[in-house]
Amino acid sequence: MEYTNLGRTGLRVSRLCLGTMNFGPLTTEEDSYQLMDRALELGINFFDTANVYGWKLGEGITEQIIGRWLAQGGGRRDKIVLATKVYNAMGNAPNERGLSAYHIRKACEDSLRRLQTDHIDLYQMHHVERSTPWEEIWQAMEQLVREGKVLYVGSSNFAGWHIAKAQAAAERRNFLGLVSEQSLYNLSARTVELEVVPVCEDYGLGLIPWSPLAGGLLGGVLRKISEGRRASDRLQQRIEQQHAQVEAYESLCSEMGEQPADVALAWLLHNPVVTAPIIGPRTMAQLEGSMRALEIVLSEEILAKLDKIWPGPGGAAPEAYAW
């Protein structure tokens, strides 16, 4: 396993991050335990979750599964960098969502209880809250840091200007501010290259791509269908819209002698701003197969071919659309 610093911090994390969104809804608790144990054996020390995962209002099912796994002991808690999130509704009351100081405090306490730990290593805002001032958000986060309940703060699904505004407010308070941004980023979704990637580089935030395989589109979907597997209705719609691109992509991967999923991850890892793509394995084979991405070196020729199949926005703004 390779390790890197999370953004400008001294925190070392694995180049692949274990996403846990499937734990509960799609992966049984027993299988989830086995995946987390195997991830540790493979050297993955970066685990990502969210208080809403499990998708039953207010229950935090996935956090509870991770908490019971941590409670087994064996030094599990000290071996991982644990990230979770706050923002989405955890109840029907008006203050059980968002980024008010009220909700941040309560959501953090609830996550700590479910996770059976005394601190969260990376506490991420799951979405921007346009109606809450940054002074209030940072005051709440600073309090959690002072109490030792949170070590680092990250964002998710922020625009570039949101990150800049957040950092300016943090600097006025002499606070570290954001250390990471978790964004949708993959070969078929490259909008973040306009402003999010540049602002992360400038402010020293580690970029953590979610959906690195585009919901399965970049995971060898055409071959899997030919073998008799069924794609979801949503994925089938995307295949119909982008069939030529997917076909060209899988053909290139075949020429390389690599699996499409591994090439997609390797492409993200090639970007120096990227800290760790989030992998969300449902099976042990998927988890172990992801390790191959760390060994793939993409030549300039291959990168150019990938850009031709999956063109980005043209680089950073404003040069991507103006002189």
Find the catalytic residue in 53, 87, 152, 203: 53
How far apart CA 25 and CA 39 sit, in angstroms, is 20
Per-residue DSSP letter, 153: E
CA 250 to chain centre: 24
Q: Tell me, yes or no, if 102 is annotated catalytic.
A: no
Three-class SS state of 125: strand
Contact 277, 208 (CB under 8 A): yes
Q: Phi then psi for 212, rounded to 5 degrees?
A: -65, -20
Packing angle of the helix pair 243-256, 233-241 (nearest 10 deg): 90
- Sort strands 178-184 and 206-210 into parallel, antiparallel or unpaired: parallel
CATH (residue range 3-309): 3.20.20.100
Q: Is 32 left (phi over 0), alpha (psi -120 to 50) or beta?
A: alpha
* pLDDT, position 226: 80
> Are 154 and 178 contacting, i.e. CB atoms less than 8 angstroms apart?
yes
Domain boundaries, the chain: 3-309
The Cα 61–Cα 174 span in angstroms is 36
| Cα gap 151→195, rounded to integer Å | 27
List per-residue pLDDT tens for the chain, 323 residues long: 999 999 999 999 999 999 999 999 999 999 999 999 999 999 999 999 999 999 999 999 999 999 999 999 999 999 999 999 999 999 999 999 999 999 999 999 999 999 999 999 999 999 999 999 999 999 999 999 999 999 999 999 999 999 999 999 999 999 999 999 999 999 999 999 999 999 999 999 999 999 999 999 999 999 888 877 777 888 888 888 889 999 999 999 999 999 999 999 999 999 999 999 999 998 999 999 999 999 999 999 999 999 999 999 999 999 999 99
Write the pLDDT tens digit of every residue in 158-183. 999 999 999 999 999 999 999 999 99
**Separation CA 312–CA 323 (nearest Å):** 17
Question: How does DSSP assign 4-19, residue by residue?
Answer: EESTTSS-EEESSEEE
pLDDT, tens digit (0-9, with 9 covering 90-100), for 125-161: 999 999 999 999 999 999 999 999 999 999 999 999 9
For the whole model, what pTM was predicted? 0.95
